[in-house]
Structure 1
Amino acid sequence: MPKWSLNSDFSLIHNPSSVWSYGSKPAGYHVTGMFSLFTHLDPEPKCCSEIVAWFGSDNVWYTHGLGVYYNTKPTNILMGSVIFPANGIAMHPSNDGRFSVIRFTAPKAGNYVLDATFTHIDTCASHTGVYIIYNNLITLWEIGLAGPEDSKSFKTTDKGISVKADEPIDFIVGVGLDNVYYCDMTLARVDIHLLDLLENQSGFPIITGSIGFVLGIIISAILFHIYYRYRENRRNANVGYQVIN
């Protein structure tokens, strides 16, 4: 059963890396907007070099915020008003409304189970928008975070969702209802697994139904044959009785 974890799979070298990509979408277009890859990874330059971030070509630390951030250490780190959990990944939108995006691209067709949690980690947090978008077409989830430490979770059913090979699922953080970007640092935890054939229950009803249909025909034929033989035996018995009399 293939599994992917945003935290354990985080790359300090490549973007994209395996199934994950880090980037952005333009303001106002969290669903259909064009996805732009971040281009470089930088360590925090003042106090906390253990915190690194993927940024676009127009951004560095303390410019406009847009990025995907990672705590490389297995311990919590306090950076200003932000508490970065151990090995945590956080997302922050831009001052011009652009969305921070982590994209999962399905390596093969199948049913995928998604399990995601987003949490405010800035002590001055107010409003933040969180979205999960399938294939630049369908909003799977849209929620607002409000206030410090607010946390919301999303999980598909155990059957997952059907995804074709190379189709993307975007996990997105935006400015939210207040349209203010500062204090929007949001922890993202995303775990995904692809159901194998035995787990994919969606195929079973068809198989079971087909077997039941065939068995029904066979049983009906047997019962009809028994009934037919019974009628024939009764008819022959009656004829024999009449001849004897």
Structure 2
Amino acid sequence: MPTWSLSSDFSLIHNPSSVWSFGSKPAGHHVTGMFSLFTHLDPEPNDYSEIIAWFGSDTIWYTHGLGVYYNTKPMNIILKEPNTNIITFTANGVAMHPGDDGRFSVVRFTAPKDGNYVLDTTFTHIHNCALYSGVYIVYNNLTLWEIGLAGPGDSKSFKTTDSITVRANEPIDFIVGVGLDNISNCDMTLARVDIHLLENQIESPVIAGSIGFVLGIIFTTILLCIYYRYRGNRQNGNAGYEVIG
């Protein structure tokens, strides 16, 4: 079963890379807003260069906040910000932060082929000063999931109970926004996203339909053979009698 993991697949070189791309959507338009790619990757400039982030052209570390962040180390890193707040980046974890102007941080998955996909996602506040943020999953201009996080360590998960039929090159967006308080301070949010493609799900109905069609033809042929044999036997039986009139 093909599987994609946001943390395992994170690219330190290209955006987009494989099925993943990192960017933003404008304030107030997390569903239908135009997706804009982040343009550059920067390490934390002080004492935590193991933490890197994709930013847009108007953002660097400790300015607008809007970005997708990654811990390159296989261990937790506790980052102390210039204002003394701390962020706990989990080992090889991906985090998202909205912009101070209300723009949404977006991780986009683009389906590589037609199929039925299973989503397994968890969003978790990792800022010690966290208040409110909003998280969303959007597919084809349809909100699959929308929920708020409130307070340090708050965590919410979404997993499809069945699967979602997605066509090749269609996007699924995983989004973090400012939430109920409408401010971006302390909104750093860990995003664990795992996606599985169920094999042979799209083709199965076609195959089943073809088998049913063939079996129908065979069954009809058998019935016709029985009918004509029965009819032939009756005609042969009637031929043995002399009709007297």
TM category, shorter: 0.7 to 0.9
- Taking every aligned residue pair, what percent have the same amino acid on both sides? 76
Pick one of 121, 130, 154 that aligns with 1:125.
Answer: 130
Instruction: Tell me which amino acid in the other structure corresponds to 2:240.
Output: G
Equivalent residues of 2:116, 2:202 under 8 A apart = no
Is 2:104 aligned against 1:99?
Answer: yes
In the other structure, the counterpart of 2:82 is none
Deviation at 1:184, TM superposition (A): 1.2
- State how 1:70-109 maps to structure 2 within 5 Å: 70-79=70-79, 80-109=85-114
Inter-CA distance 18–226: structure 2 relative to 1 (3 Å threshold): closer
How far does the alpha carbon of each residue in 1:137-184 deviate from its partner, in whole angstroms, 9 at most, with x for none? 22222222223222222233555422223x322211001122121121
How far does the alpha carbon of each residue in 1:70-118 deviate from its partner, in whole angstroms, 9 at most, with x for none? 1111111122332111111100111111101112233444443332221
Rounded Cα–Cα distance in structure 2 between residues aligned with 1:168 and 1:177: 26
Q: TM-score under structure 1 normalisation? A: 0.84
In the other structure, the counterpart of 1:214 is 214
Q: Give the match's secondary structure for 2:74.
A: coil
Is 2:57 aligned against 1:57?
Answer: yes
Is 2:189 aligned against 1:189?
Answer: no
Equivalent residues of 2:111, 2:166 under 8 A apart = no
Equivalent residues of 1:113, 1:161 under 8 A apart = no
Rounded Cα–Cα distance in structure 2 between residues aligned with 1:60 and 1:188: 21
Q: TM-score under structure 2 normalisation? A: 0.84
Q: Report which stretch shifted further, 27-36 or 6-15.
A: 6-15
Instruction: Tell me which amino acid in the other structure corresponds to 2:158.
Output: F
Rounded Cα–Cα distance in structure 2 between residues aligned with 1:243 and 1:3: 80
Deviation at 1:211, TM superposition (A): 2.1
How far does the alpha carbon of each residue in 1:205-232 deviate from its partner, in whole angstroms, 9 at most, with x for none? 3322332233233223323432442344
Equivalent residues of 1:159, 1:200 under 8 A apart = no
Equivalent residues of 1:112, 1:163 under 8 A apart = no
Instruction: Tell me which amino acid in the other structure corresponds to 2:137.
Output: I
Inter-CA distance 223–162: structure 2 relative to 1 (3 Å threshold): same
Number of aligned pairs?
239
Instruction: Tell me which amino acid in the other structure corresponds to 2:48.
Output: C
CA RMSD of aligned residues (A): 2.5
Equivalent residues of 2:115, 2:202 under 8 A apart = no
Deviation at 1:234, TM superposition (A): 4.3
